[in-house]
Amino acid sequence: MTEALVLVAALIGGGFLALRPLLGRVPWPEERPDERDDVARAVSSLRDLEFARAAGTIDAADEVRLRRRIEASAFATSDQPAPRAPVRTFIVAALLAGTATVLVVALLPASAGDRAPGETITGTVPGAGPSTAALEARIRETPSDIPTRLALADRYEDEGRAADAAEQYRAVLTLDAENVPALNGLGILLFRSGSMDGALLAADRVLAIRPRDADALFLKGLVLYTQGKHAEAVTVWTVYLEVGEFHPAAAMVRNLYADATRKSGR
């Protein structure tokens, strides 16, 4: 270990002295904006737009127009060539890569030497989570396991199995009538199926338990907005925007909130 550290220090010191003439006054190129940032923002906006389209809260013509505008702004490219990095960039990068190699060669055997047979060098490897079949088996063994039922409901939603997810949420509510995640999950499924009264009832039950729950406030406002009750939606979403600043639907709600405010004459 000590020899490896001495060798690394010698490499860094010698490399600095050798490269010092190259590290003079050569200017670094000006960095161009990363186009991936624009794409990431566009993807987020397109998700919000898709959610609004699925919820029926945006006109089809407006949806097409906004989608084209978002895509055009995200994937527009500049004709200007990218600036080239000075030669020193590649030389310094090579030096750092060599140093990293030395560290790996010197330290990896020491790190691996104490491990038990079959154990990974870094310790444990994080798993991808239990499969749907494993969750179903666990429920059969322990039907009263609420966290597993909620996890299974989420998995069913990811797989597009809305009816099976609703069944799990209802089973949870049989065990715990005031379970907030189950009420919120069932409420969203009811809204997607077109059952506005059921979705509103689920949201109201959550708000009776937790008056400032962001998921329930979002859902209730969305139901009211869809029903054309814009003034009531504004009232609900005013509280939502106070508590749900980082909620996934916050960007969409801000736009709908402005539209509801305008339509309600406030």
Q: Which domain CATH number covers 197? A: 1.25.40.10
Residues 250 and 157 in one domain: yes
Percent of the chain residues topping a pLDDT of 90: 49
Residues 138 and 260 in one domain: yes
Residues 92 and 167 in one domain: no
* 127 pLDDT above the threshold of 60: no
Q: Does some domain include residue 126?
A: no
Residues 241 and 172 in one domain: yes
102 vs 184, more confident: 184
The count of structural domains within the chain is 3
Residues 142 and 250 in one domain: yes
93 vs 109, more confident: 93
In angstroms, the first-to-last Cα distance of the chain is 72
What span, in angstroms and rounded, lies between the C-alpha atoms of 83 and 103?
A: 32
- The secondary structure of residue 1, as a DSSP letter, is -
Q: Does some domain include residue 125?
A: no
Tokens 């020899």 map to which residue? 3
* 67 pLDDT above the threshold of 50: yes
Q: What is the pLDDT of residues 202-213, one digit of tens each?
A: 999 999 999 999
Q: Residue 10: count other Cβ atoms within 10 Å of its Cβ.
A: 10
Residues 197 and 93 in one domain: no
Residues 27 and 60 in one domain: no
Structural domain for 55, as ranges: 34-77
Residues 151 and 245 in one domain: yes
CA torsion 20→24→26→29, rounded to 10°?
70
What span, in angstroms and rounded, lies between the C-alpha atoms of 199 and 185?
A: 10
Helix/strand/coil for 120: strand
